[in-house]
Amino acid sequence: MTKAHAGRWRVEPGTTVDLGKIDTRSTDGAPGDKGSTEAVMDDVLHDLQGLQERLYADGGQSLLVVLQAIDAGGKDGTIKHVFRGLNPAGCKVVSFKVPSEEELSHDFLWRVHDKAPGKGEVVVFNRSHYEDVLVVRVHGLVPEDVWRPRFDFINDFEANLAASGTRIVKLYLHISKEEQAERFQARIDDPSKQWKFRKGDLDERALWDDYMAAFEEAITRTSTDCAPWYVVPADRKWYRNWAVSRILVETLEDMDPRYPPAEDLTGVVIT
């Protein structure tokens, strides 16, 4: 299969991100239109499933996938479509909600470190430790002199995970404000999806520019060689799914997990 060159979405360390200059409707690198791209997805996901099986069998490395986006950005949809065929024995999804009282009594990374993947595992963070430099910043939940040093703490935390054998892939699903409005309206109009919308989402939408500034600085400050960010154009869900799948396939190919050597089975006959 021809490589998609995941570097097209990668934020190189030391570069400054301007989300306003990244086309949320881009289909750069896709095999073709929606139909053509969806037609190859089974092959891409088959590759992903095989690589995850080897990672699980190898047991020497792990993969952490961090998913972040504005509300309605497609985190749940990405998980549903990209990770659906992975072996659940070696893959789990962790969603980070509002911290509990116990979690608030510790440092902000305490609850996150506990959920990091063990050897052989793929763990997907649906939201993550980045909420502590995003929501916390936008809503002024702590002073700037508290949240700003967290960029360095996050970099050190991720470097520690990487040094212990965890590959980290951080994905920002980039949608436009217009696309968010369409997705919110679709939820309101569909009784089966109304549970996904709350009136408070409109209050968050009013803070769009503040969130974009927060995402830009977080991505700029924390895209590192050992834990790079990828900004994935996500207005088109089919392109988002394909791009995320390609990034993960290429990451796992680079990790090159191997099946462990089998025992000497010479002469073994099952009767």
Domains of the chain, residue spans? 6-252
- Give the three-class secondary structure for 85: coil
Range 197-200 contact pairs with CB under 8 angstroms and sequence separation of 24 or more: none
Alpha-carbon distance of 257 to 86, in angstroms, equals 15
For residue 3, the model assigns a pLDDT of: 47
- Give the three-class secondary structure for 31: coil
Fold type of domain 6-252:
Rossmann fold (3.40.50)
Alpha-carbon distance of 164 to 241, in angstroms, equals 29
Tokens 């791009």 belong to which residue? 243
For residue 264, the model assigns a pLDDT of: 81
Alpha-carbon distance of 126 to 123, in angstroms, equals 10
Pairing of strands 91-95, 122-126: parallel
In the numeric block, which tokens belong to residue 89? 């024995």
Alpha-carbon distance of 41 to 92, in angstroms, equals 21
For residue 263, the model assigns a pLDDT of: 84
For residue 125, the model assigns a pLDDT of: 98
Q: What is the mean pLDDT of each run of 10 residues along the chain (271 residues)?
A: 70 97 96 96 96 97 98 96 93 93 95 96 97 96 97 98 98 98 96 94 97 98 98 98 97 96 86 87
For residue 266, the model assigns a pLDDT of: 86
Tokens 């974009």 belong to which residue? 212
How far is residue 229 from each of residues 32, 47, 68, measured CA to CA in Å? 25, 22, 10
**Chain centroid, CA 179 distance in Å:** 20
* Total residues belonging to the chain: 271
CB 177 within 8 A of CB 73: no
For residue 12, the model assigns a pLDDT of: 96
Tokens 């088959």 belong to which residue? 46
